[in-house]
Amino acid sequence: MSGPDYSIELAAATRGARIIAGVDEVGRGPLAGPVTAAAVVLDPECIPEGLNDSKKLSEKRRLALYDLIVAHAEVSIAHASVEEIDALNILRASHLAMERAIAGLPRRPDMALIDGNMIPRGLTVPAQAVVKGDGLSVSIAAASIMAKIRRDYVMRDLAQHYPGYGWETNAGYPSKSHIEALQNLGVTPHHRRSFKPVHNILYQDK
| pLDDT tens digits, one per residue of 131-175 | 999 999 999 999 999 999 999 999 999 999 999 999 999 999 999
User: Residue 175, class by beta-carbon neighbours within 10 Å (0-12 exposed, 13-18 middle, 19+ buried)?
Assistant: middle
How much is the pLDDT for 204?
Answer: 75
Residues of the chain with pLDDT under 70: 1, 205-206
For residues 138 and 73, give the distance between their C-alpha atoms in angstroms, rounded to a whole number.
12
Is 134 marked within a binding site?
Answer: no
Residue 205 pLDDT: 55
Task: Determine what percent of the chain is predicted with pLDDT higher than 70.
Answer: 99
φ, ψ of residue 32 in degrees (nearest 5): -145, 155
Which pLDDT score is estimated for 203?
83
Name the nearest CA neighbour of 32 among 85, 101, 78: 85
The mean predicted confidence, pLDDT, of the chain is 96
pLDDT of residue 44: 96
Q: Which of 9, 35, 34, 11 is nearest to 24 (CA)?
A: 35
Give the fold, CATH level 3, of 7-160.
Nucleotidyltransferase; domain 5 (3.30.420)
**Residue 142 in contact with residue 51, Cβ under 8 Å?**
yes
pLDDT of residue 107: 98
Q: pTM for the complete prediction?
A: 0.96
180 is in an annotated binding site: no
Task: Tell whether residue 110 is among the known ligand binding residues.
Answer: no
